[in-house]
Amino acid sequence: MQAINLESEKKEILARYKGLLKASRRTLQKGDKELIRKAFEVALEAHKNMRRKSGEPYIFHPIAVAQISAEEIGLGTTSIVCALLHDTVEDTDITLEDISGMFGKKVAQIIDGLTKIAGVFDQTSSLQAENFKKMMLTLSDDIRVILIKIADRLHNMRTLESMKRDKQIKIASETLYLYAPLAHRLGLNGIKVELEDLGLKYTNPDAYNEIAQKLIDTEPERKKFIQKFIEPIKEILTEQGLKFKILGRPKSIFSIYNKIKEKGVEFEDIYDLFAIRIVVDTPYDQEKTDCWKIYSIITDFYHPNPDRLRDWISTPKANGYESLHTTVMGPEGKWVEVQIRSLRMDELAEKGYAAHWKYKDSAAERENQLEEWISRIREMLESPEENALDFIDDFKLNLFADEIFVFTPKGDMKTLPAGSTSLDFAFEIHSKVGAKCIGAKVNHKLVPLSHELKSGDQVEILTSNKQSPREDWINFVITAKAKSKIKHALKEQRKVVADEGREILERKFYRHKLDFTIQNISDFGTFLKLPTSQEVFYRVAKGAIDSKEIKEFIEHKENPTKNVKKEQPKTLEQMVSSARGKTDLLVIGDDMQKLDYKLSPCCNPIPGDDVFGFISIGEGIKIHRVNCPNAVQLLSNYAYRVVKAKWNSQQLISFLAGIKITGSDELGLVNNITKIISTQYNVNMRSINFDTDDGIFEGTIMVYVHDTNHLTQLIGKLKKVPGVISITRVDGEKEDGNARSASEN
């Protein structure tokens, strides 16, 4: 173990503290420096004997969180003090009363919010979703709680290399699933991009490293191209007397990775690898004019793509983002995305809502947008019975979605997620309007409730007092507000029906000389395997339970041992503890394991893949690849059902894997490919599917391989076949969801 040099550590702590003061200088007012100093000293004393997993002093972490809050989010003194103290109440002997006495009620309130959500997504907790819901509730107290939490997560992601691999995957998955979209929704573009890139770095390191290396390799060529592109524009902008800077930025690694996955293309085929940003320093009232002036100058030199013009200056995004985007045909016949914005817009794009203090003119408008968003979250949290996982899914959907702008008959504009329907719009107007909606007129044409709206549509909602929400309405809406209101209304309707069912059941019990007691109702529900007595009453009212079931129940009461199964199914908790065992590690392919596991067909894991086990109800343990399409959601929402897993490489077993091949349709090409697979590599093929279109062929082959090395060698050999353009591994078999492994004979 390396000896600790306390003297050099003290110097480093002081240097970092000075760096924090420098970062917070622009927001400091009289007395603020002393307050920050006091918070620093309290935190330093409280954490003096604590170290991080990396071995460094714990105080490095709160200083870093405070610095991110000040420098990258643009928060002021109160937030810096809270960031320095954010772990003290949870991890040390300091109480909230102590904090309140030293720094006031506001700081104590924010620290309380941070302490409440500190346990969110604990590795073994089964309440991650519930805790996330609680975390969102703190938004209504003070948004700084969430902003400091994002700063905390960003620093944890930056220092994740010192954690164990399973913790890395877990934390990175949560980050991609919740924290990155949260940062995006709060307008923290710079942080959102970094969280996504770091998330990918730990969930799929191979893909991350490959793209990062390719970006480094292509940088000189990119710089040369950007220089050539901006040269003529620079000259004219200077002549026009505009103060500006031009930046050429590559797309984030995460967005490139997504494009490769979604479009099924190679890195080299992505034309918009970078964007050119022109930032103009101009007064607030001149911003719009100057941005359009720059657009006009650019399009004088380069031909714009009319389908790619995005005006977020006239209509900012819901997270406050303002910018003018266009895609133009640049030198060498390459499309180039150009972003035009003012200095104010650029700062707001990077620092989001937290930066608005600097721009008082538009602060009120931005406050209103923020309040609107928070009030939507409050609406989503109104129903306490709402399933927490449903809440997260609805919440994420509304975080990620692109936006559309639609108008009321009077011309008022409403912002909705892309994909919203006329029924979503009705609930956006008012929950009572939504509940009574029978249809809509979009641009004066009658449309059904499920009609998908487009930006610019003018919508008039038609209602009837006889209408009430129906079960199938859930399928017609995508906004969390509409879903929540429909579920609540259906629950109320179900309650009314259940009340009728209660009276019917009481009469039926009376006829069968059975006492209508709470115990008998509960036993009857257990006998029918129904979760609640309300469900029993509801089914009685609907005619699904009749005298036949009551007679069987009476027989069961008189002779309880009849038809009773000896072995009760295991509860989820029992399954989890049995699967975790003493070692907390599932060894795949180990004969000593007496556990039922399957390889998941959604990602077809093979030995050598980074994997984890997921305990499913009724299907034992399913093994998933860490970069499986479903992994991020499983690891974020159900961490308590995840088991660490590794491969036992002693046995030679064949596993199903899919490869996708594209190439030019040359004579004998398919024959050459199949010959290499079956003859040279002795690999069995499960299925083969090829299709050609205008001289280009695309094929998917499902093959049985031993491990990732075996598959990599096979792909390497196939890439050398003349006519083959690209080969990628595919996640699973679409035509057959029952992928299986087979032993090698």
Question: Which residue in the list 41, 45, 90, 365 is annotated as catalytic?
Answer: 90
Sequence-ordered list of residues with C-beta below 8 angstroms from that of 373, at least 6 positions apart, any chain:
185, 318, 319
Q: Is 90 one of the annotated active-site residues of the chain?
A: yes
Residue carrying structure tokens 């305990």: 615
Phi, psi torsion values for 662, nearest 5 degrees: -125, 150
What angle separates helix 422-429 from helix 480-511, to the nearest 10 degrees? 90
Q: How far apart, in whole angstroms, are the C-alpha atoms of residue 388 and residue 393?
A: 9
Q: Is 266 one of the annotated active-site residues of the chain?
A: no
**371: Cα separation from own chain's centroid:** 22
Extract long-range pairs of 663-667: CB within 8 Å, 24+ residues apart: 663/696, 663/697, 663/721, 663/723, 663/724, 663/725, 663/726, 664/695, 664/696, 664/697, 664/723, 664/725, 665/692, 665/695, 665/696, 665/697, 665/723, 666/722, 666/723
Q: How far apart, in whole angstroms, are the C-alpha atoms of residue 189 and residue 290?
A: 23
Helices (H) and strands (E) in the chain, counts: 29, 21
**454: Cα separation from own chain's centroid:** 25
Question: Which residue in the list 9, 12, 71, 91 is annotated as catalytic?
Answer: 91
Under 8 Å between Cβ of 703 and 659: yes
Angle at 620 between CA 615 and CA 626, to 5 degrees: 45
CA-to-CA separations, 98 to 37, 101, 119, 401, in angstroms, rounded: 17, 5, 21, 43
Q: How far apart, in whole angstroms, are the C-alpha atoms of residue 128 and residue 273?
A: 36
CA-to-CA separations, 392 to 135, 240, 395, in angstroms, rounded: 12, 50, 5
Sequence-ordered list of residues with C-beta below 8 angstroms from that of 497, at least 6 positions apart, any chain:
538, 541, 542
Burial (CB count within 10 angstroms: exposed 0-12, middle 13-18, buried 19+), residue 167: middle
Under 8 Å between Cβ of 727 and 715: yes
DSSP letter at 686 equals: E
Task: Take residue 275 and report the two structure tokens written for it.
Answer: 């964007």
Under 8 Å between Cβ of 582 and 593: no
Task: Evaluate the CA torsion angle 352, 353, 355, 358 in order and state its sign.
Answer: positive
Q: How far apart, in whole angstroms, are the C-alpha atoms of residue 661 and residue 97?
A: 64
Q: What are the residues facing 342 on neighbouring strands?
A: 280
Which letter, b or e, does each residue of 125-149 get, where b requires 16 or more Cβ atoms within 10 Å of its Cβ? Answer: eeebbbbbbbbbbbbeebbbbbbbb
Burial (CB count within 10 angstroms: exposed 0-12, middle 13-18, buried 19+), residue 565: exposed
Q: How far apart, in whole angstroms, are the C-alpha atoms of residue 637 and residue 499?
A: 35
DSSP letter at 28 equals: -
Angle at 681 between CA 677 and CA 683, to 5 degrees: 60
**Of 693, 703, 707, the residue nearest 647 (C-alpha):** 707
Residue carrying structure tokens 């196939």: 718
Q: How far apart, in whole angstroms, are the C-alpha atoms of residue 295 and residue 313?
A: 12
Residues serving a catalytic function are 90-91
